[in-house]
Amino acid sequence: MVYECGASEFGVRPQAAGRRGMVASANPLATQAGLRMFAAGGNAVDAAVAAAAAITVVEPYFSSVGGIGLAVLSLPGGETRTLNFMGRSPRGARPDLFTVETQDLGPLAPMVPGNVAGWARLLSEYGTLPLAQVLEPAIELADRGTPVTAFDHARTSAVLQRLLPFPDASRTYLNRGRPYLPGELLRQGGLAATLRTIATEGWQTFYEGRLAETIAGYLGAQGGLITKEDMRTYPGVLRWEPPIVARYRGYEIRTTPPPSSAVQILQTLRILEAFEVAELDPLGPDYLALAAEAIRLARVEAAANVADPALKDVPIAWMLSDARVEELRAEVRRRLRAAKSRAGRAARGRQPVRARIRKARRAPERSTTHLSAADASGLAVNITQTIGSGYGSGVVVGDTGIVLNNGHHWCTLVPGDARVIAPDKRRESPSGPAHGFGVHENPMAPAQSFGIDPLGPAHAARGGRLAFLIGTPGSYGIPQTTAQMILGLIDFGRGIQDAIAAPRFRWKDDVGDPMPPKTLLLEGRFPASARKALASRGYSIEVLEDWSVRVGGGQGIVLREDGWMMGGADPRRNGYAMGW
């Protein structure tokens, strides 16, 4: 659906603009927390960490102090660095201790939380304001309470059964056993006290002080595995790493290395660079088929190859090599020809169309958030942080307000698999925030989707300067959505808000779905004619809502050459961008 008038092509929300700073997050209150840092004289890192802490208050179903994440940081001189704080399995973790149920929900499900260590590392090396000041907005929001939105109510209602078995979680997030209604005030006094403890005693208390003892003691009493020693040693494993990089139409796209599977974003773009994407209708079947085939092949490659590089060699150079990419391009062309041939035979009545179009069924809620911040110096950072599923493991640590992640849900229980649960193992991540600077023989992949982590923020540079940064939540849809937003910016010339708000699709490839994926999920705003054309070519189509959280919730910033920064945030969530 394209709007004839209004502030943008795909809705009435305009781009945000600023010259001194920009923050984009999934909630206006978190975005305001970041802007307060700019008002206090802080920089983009101060703003990003303030927003990251505040989002744990206003989006507790997606993010938490007990969560895990990734960051991509670009410095004013042009260097980009990545930080993986995706947590690790406790040292006592073994696959035989878990079932499919307990790796998802309950005290065995959490990995060692990484968010606090990640925020602290960013602030200590690149921030300018003290931790207590950066946490102040989040403390105020938790202490005074925040009005529940319709989106908040819907998210909690969708995962109510994950909270009800756990009294501490129910007491923290429910109002007498039911989700808070839109407009009601959710106060989180326990979380406010926890954040205040971190602010006054220092971030180390979370890993080797009172809070660490509380977390380990609570989990030990509940049959969990995380110990005080697991907490104490975690911050020491964090390391800055260079991004993985690929060029696309004059831009250098930089994103997170394994165990993130963000290489899927880069491989998708490299495949598509040989095609005239800009000549296609971005809402039409030819574009959808082309992009979907490229994304599908890159998804299969990631499933076959990405793991924790500490345990397995990940062939990034080969995956992005000219030779491999050309093989994948040839496979895309072959599949597109076969699809059009099927449509032709069906039109002549020589072959019935077996593909169908139906309404998508409800899927399990995944629980991730993304935010971006940049300032006039050229410093920019985006963070993707998660607790896994809705309200993570369902475990809230007593009266601390800390809901713990279920990072083990994204590992496997298959002995010998590179992604199996193991002591000190990192979660393989599908998230990959990105920064942008100006096959006939497919790899072997699992029969079902499991075991890699899709987080992948991205930065893009052009001509030696940072051009944009973008990222999204969305489970295994993260690399798919990120690639589509980048195509919107580069190939279709959209502004950042429209690149985020435009209709999106993804393959149905979450945990437990068939691999290679077989069904395309399309937002309802794609024209019916496009859906019918794809079905005639043999694609199985499921139609989502017009604005579906299943295709993510992107946030991003464009840095113009004239010094202006333009921000965009996803209307599929409570997203809001604001400039300073």
Handedness of CA 415, 418, 422, 427 (dihedral sign): negative
Concerning whether 412 is annotated as a catalytic residue, the answer is no
Hey, what are 209's tokens?
Answer: 């002080």
- Classify burial at 177, counting beta carbons within 10 Å of its beta carbon; exposed 0-12, middle 13-18, buried 19 or more: exposed
Residue recorded with tokens 């601390």:
400
- Residues 368, 369, 386, 412: which is the catalytic one? 368
Distance CA 53, CA 136 (A): 9
Distance CA 497, CA 557 (A): 9
Strand, coil or helix: what is 201?
A: helix
- Residue 330 φ then ψ, to 5°: -65, -40
Peptide bond between residue 259 and the one before it cis (omega within 30 degrees of 0): yes
Hey, what are 256's tokens?
Answer: 């997170």
Distance CA 95, CA 34 (A): 40
Distance CA 276, CA 272 (A): 8
Nearest to 49 by CA among 61, 37, 64, 41: 37
DSSP secondary structure string for all residues of 360-426: PPP-PPEEEEEEEEEETTS-EEEEEEEEEETTTTS-B-TTS--BBP-GGGGSB--TT-TTB--TTPB
CB 230, CB 91: distance < 8 Å: yes
CB 269, CB 248: distance < 8 Å: yes
Distance CA 278, CA 281 (A): 8
CA angle 193/239/242 to nearest 5° reads 125
Handedness of CA 33, 39, 40, 41 (dihedral sign): positive
DSSP letter assigned to residue 242: P
Task: Kindly give the pairing relationship between strand 465-471 and strand 434-436.
Answer: antiparallel
Count CA within 13 A, CB hemisphere, residue 195.
31
Strand, coil or helix: what is 558?
A: strand
Active site residues: 368
